[in-house]
Amino acid sequence: MRSFLFTILVAGCVVAQAQSSKTYLIKAGKLYNSEKNIFELNQEILVKGDLIIKVGKNLKADSAEVIDLQNSTVSPGLIDAHTHILTIQKPTDPLETDILMNSDIERSLRAVKIGRSYLEAGFTTIRDLGNSGMYLDLNMKRAIQNGWIVGPRMIVSGPILAPEDGQFFNLSLQNRFVIEREYTVIRNVEDARQAVKDHISHGVDVIKVVMGDGKLILSLEEVKAIVETAHQFGLKVTAHATYDLVIARALEAGVDGIEHGYGIADSLLDLMAKKKVYLVPTIGTFESYRELFDPEKKQSTENMKSLEEFTKNSQQIVKRAIEKGVMVVNGADMYIYTEHPQGVAAKNSMEAYYVGCAKANEVLKTATKNAAIACGLDRRVGVIKEDMKADIVAFDGDMEKTFTTSLYKMKFIMKNGEIIINTK
């Protein structure tokens, strides 16, 4: 019996090894080089197993399967650095509704579908930043790594570190338990240090902190303690900060990134560039916001003008941030119900960036090289070159000429050398 089991195990290992060593030669009509931030013509990519072996012209690979993408724009796999795949809500519902209405199992099963939608939209990596119960995000990450479910590579934060009200406002007394279930509450400096250590013991990849959305705001000393402890263990800290007061405090505390930054002052953008702090502007286009929040077009003209002004200002922030040398990182924060798959809807942030800066290369950089740096994965993904993971996607057409339409037309998706989609 033991001999039989040993034979089966050895045979399985041989098959797995054979599968992992498959070789592909990808012929790209136009290749986005994220290191140089330029597009290059008629490049070839040699992939063996899960790695990129060589990039150049007229590569020799007699035994390789040829993938013809000469009418496409090829790019490193996309990265969304701000997702919440374990929560979803209707536009008019408060944030806590989903948690109160759905069990951890239901949220996790739903997240399987959402995660796959990201991969099939071309996102080979996502960074999930909380609103995921008590480490449900870690369960999802492990399930994908173990091959139990199909989804993008995940970088996860675990429960968000937050003031006592979390991000829930005016909760009834009997429902306040959801704060402790969804957040790690910080009441003092020692809480701050211990929270980071607890997260590290669970195996998170990044620390996410909410500076404060309501009346309560984390103190400078508390945020400094979070940052110092995280950095001591080699983890980055990214801060949910939506207005200038809390953004300034987060920057003074030494955070690595700012999430949202709606209406951020130019002086703070200058400070971010100086401190090398990245910005994840979780914005969309006016059309996408209207589709989500006013699909029947019943809201007043005044409300729509305010929304249009907000989107224009947000898109200009992206442009100014890039001009000032701030590292802009793609992140959609797409947790609202939509008729589109969540992964497809998440691309609207990139479309909004394009409206702001009108440069396809700059937008792709936010979702490849820049996002890989923010996720701590820049030695593995985000660039198509030798010895990097074979995360490669292709868009139909010429991204420089037809960005907003090509963005949604996937021709080819490869993650870790495994073909997910190849429309041929």
Tell me if residue 335 falls in helix, strand or coil: coil
pTM for this structure?
0.94
In the prediction, which pLDDT does 398 show? 97
> Mind giving me the DSSP string for 109-166?
HHHHHHHHHHHHTTEEEEEE-S-STTTHHHHHHHHHHTTSS---EEEE--SEEE-TTT
Together in a domain, 53 and 164: no
pLDDT tens digit sequence for 341-384? 999 999 999 999 999 888 999 999 999 999 999 999 999 999 99
- Of 336, 398, 418, 408, the C-alpha closest to 78 is 408
Domain range enclosing 265: 78-346
Together in a domain, 235 and 120: yes
Residue 424 confidence (pLDDT) above 90 = no
Together in a domain, 56 and 131: no
In the prediction, which pLDDT does 4 show? 46
Together in a domain, 299 and 238: yes
Distance, C-alpha 54 to centroid of its chain: 27
pLDDT tens digit sequence for 301-320? 888 888 899 999 999 999 99
In a domain, 12, yes or no: no
Together in a domain, 163 and 58: no
Together in a domain, 234 and 164: yes
Which of 15-24, 190-199, 218-227, 328-337 shows the lowest per-residue confidence on average (mean pLDDT)? 15-24
Higher pLDDT, residue 255 or 292: 255
pLDDT tens digit sequence for 210-233? 998 867 999 999 999 999 999 999
In a domain, 353, yes or no: no
> Domains in the chain: how many in total?
2
Residue 173: DSSP 8-state: G
For position 156, which CATH number holds? 3.20.20.140
Residue 113 confidence (pLDDT) above 80 = yes
Sheet holding 236-241, edge to edge: 183-185, 160-162, 206-210, 236-241, 257-260, 278-280
For position 418, which CATH number holds? 2.30.40.10
Together in a domain, 175 and 308: yes
Which of 73-77, 88-92, 117-121, 238-242 shows the lowest per-residue confidence on average (mean pLDDT)? 88-92
Together in a domain, 252 and 116: yes
Together in a domain, 217 and 71: no
Q: Residue 420 and residue 114: Cα distance in Å, rounded? A: 16
Residue 8 confidence (pLDDT) above 70 = no
Together in a domain, 55 and 94: no
In the prediction, which pLDDT does 16 show? 43
Question: pLDDT tier at 20 (50, 70, 90 boundaries)?
Answer: low
In a domain, 375, yes or no: no
What is the percentage of the chain residues whose pLDDT exceeds 90? 81
In a domain, 310, yes or no: yes
> Pairing state of beta strands 23-33 and 65-76?
parallel
In a domain, 352, yes or no: no
Together in a domain, 129 and 31: no
